[in-house]
A and B are shown apart, each in its own frame.
Chain A
Amino acid sequence: MINKIVQSVADALAGVKDGATVLIGGFGSVGQPDALIEGLIEQGAKDLTCVANNAGTGRVGLARLMELGRVRKIICSFPRSAGSVVFEELYREGKIELEIVPQGTLAERMRAAGAGIPAFYTATAVGTLLARGKDEREFNGRKYVLEQALKGDVALVEAWEADRWGNLTYNQSGRNFNPVMAMAAETTIAQVQHIRELGELSPELVATPGIYVQRVVRVDRGAPWV
């Protein structure tokens, strides 16, 4: 019997290695796997490269992980949100590396990794600072830059429902980066609010097929704190 459901957050995060690249879902706090991030703080892995849209807010979650000195590098599109105090301190002091990626390129780099595409050309960022050092090529009279796939060792995602095969559904705009990150990592760990029996989820509504998911843990999170 295939059963990807684990009983605790600690079990879900077992084995995350030092130096790992960790993809973290969510857009702001919506669809952000808070319990798994807390679990990663407890788990202890360090020297991490974290990929997320934002660079954490306040002094909890991803911001706490950074404050503890466990994040070597962050790859994101929007590091400077309201309340991203920890990131700004660390960045000013030169204690964290930053790679800024346009949001669509960030999503596409992970989709590409999940789809077996090593690199792709895009018109985004052509002629800007973010295209510096990248190969440029013209197709049909328009310029494009070459961007590389971005693969994770681990993805931490938040979903709404799951079954024991790892099929996932999402709640409204809680979907965001989660399905893309789920397909881009070696080990995808999903935090979900509801566990359903196999066959109970409508196959038409499964947004992340279980093939992309390795571990599932149920967490009563409630609503995001917008």
Chain B
Amino acid sequence: MQPYTRAEMAAKAAADIPEGWVVNLGIGIPTMIADHVPLEREVIFQSENGVLGMGPAPEKGREDPWLINAGKQMVTLRPGGSFCHHADSFSMIRGGHIDLCVLGGFEVAENGDLANWATSENDTAPAVGGAMDLGAGAKRLWVVMEHTTKDGRPKIVERCGYPLTALGNVSRVYTNLAVLDVVQGLGFVVRDIAPGLSLEELQAKSAAKLHTRA
């Protein structure tokens, strides 16, 4: 069995983003997605700190500390890019102007719920950032995450056990083992399985029923 690497997970998600979409990428593997979208396919990347039209990472020696992304890494601005303040940036997000948001996740449930900000109700000072705004406001919400926790517990579940970030909005999940659609009223539908892995093996690593396309 050959699980997908983080870069392969990012590349798979990137391949599914069409030209013209405005896309917000969360911290972690989602940030890597931008590296896999060729510049000639014009996708506009938005960063919650008021950057619209982010380009690739700067070349060595050309970094600009005034130009960062949500993960506080230095980035570049493409021709056509622009800056705005935080309330305008989140108006783009909350006002339904973002075609796609891709976030990391602790758990995704078969009803499309996402948990990705706190590990218990008594979490010491959880950090939510912009995840709840993105989860509620983007037109589409995809999640990129490992299929199970480090100790093998499924992150694909019937209902989230961790505190929720967004309710019912996740429509696709990219993991190191599979790509799943979340279909309202049905649940998880398998789009793709990592090489050498059977559907039964994938099901065994998931805590919700996996459906296949008819």
Stretch at the interface among A4-12, A33-41, A124-132: A124-132
Tell me if A87 counts as interface (CB < 8 A to partner B): yes
* Identity of the chain B residue whose Cβ is nearest the Cβ of A172 in the assembled complex: B66
* Identity of the chain A residue whose Cβ is nearest the Cβ of B72 in the assembled complex: A28
Please state if B133 and A102 are interface contacts (CB–CB under 8 Å). Answer: yes
Given contacts A91-B124, A180-B87, A226-B74, contact A103 B133 (CB under 8 A): yes
- B residues in contact (CB < 8 Å) with A: 47-51, 64-68, 72, 74, 77, 83-87, 89-90, 93-94, 118, 121, 124-133, 136-137, 163-167
Give bound CA distance, A171 to B83, whole Å.
9
Residues of B contacting A: mostly: loop
Cβ contacts A to B, 12 pairs, < 8 Å: A27-B68, A30-B66, A88-B124, A91-B125, A101-B128, A103-B86, A103-B128, A124-B137, A173-B47, A176-B49, A177-B85, A177-B86
Give bound CA distance, A77 to B83, whole Å.
21
Please state if A122 and B94 are interface contacts (CB–CB under 8 Å). Answer: yes
* Residue numbers in B under 8 Å from A78 (CB-CB): 127-129
Q: Which of A100, A173, A175 contacts B128 (CB 8 A)?
A: A100
* Residue numbers in A under 8 Å from B132 (CB-CB): 102, 104-105, 124-125, 128, 130
* Identity of the chain B residue whose Cβ is nearest the Cβ of A123 in the assembled complex: B136
Tell me if A178 counts as interface (CB < 8 A to partner B): yes
* Residue numbers in A under 8 Å from B127 (CB-CB): 77-81, 100
* Residue numbers in A under 8 Å from B66 (CB-CB): 30, 171-174, 223-224
3 smallest A-B Cβ distances: which pairs?
A: A104-B90, A104-B133, A107-B86
Given contacts A124-B133, A226-B68, contact A102 B128 (CB under 8 A): yes
Tell me if A110 counts as interface (CB < 8 A to partner B): yes
Tell me if A16 counts as interface (CB < 8 A to partner B): no
Tell me if A198 counts as interface (CB < 8 A to partner B): no
Give bound CA distance, A101 to B136, whole Å.
14
Tell me if A139 counts as interface (CB < 8 A to partner B): no
* Residue numbers in A under 8 Å from B48 (CB-CB): 103-104
* Residue numbers in B under 8 Å from A226 (CB-CB): 65, 68, 72, 74
Having A122-B136, A176-B86, A179-B87, one finds 18 other A-B pairs with CB under 8 Å, namely A30-B72, A77-B127, A78-B128, A78-B129, A100-B127, A103-B90, A104-B132, A104-B133, A104-B137, A105-B132, A124-B136, A127-B167, A130-B132, A173-B49, A173-B50, A175-B83, A175-B85, A225-B65
Q: Which of B64, B83, B87, B121 contacts A107 (CB 8 A)?
A: B87
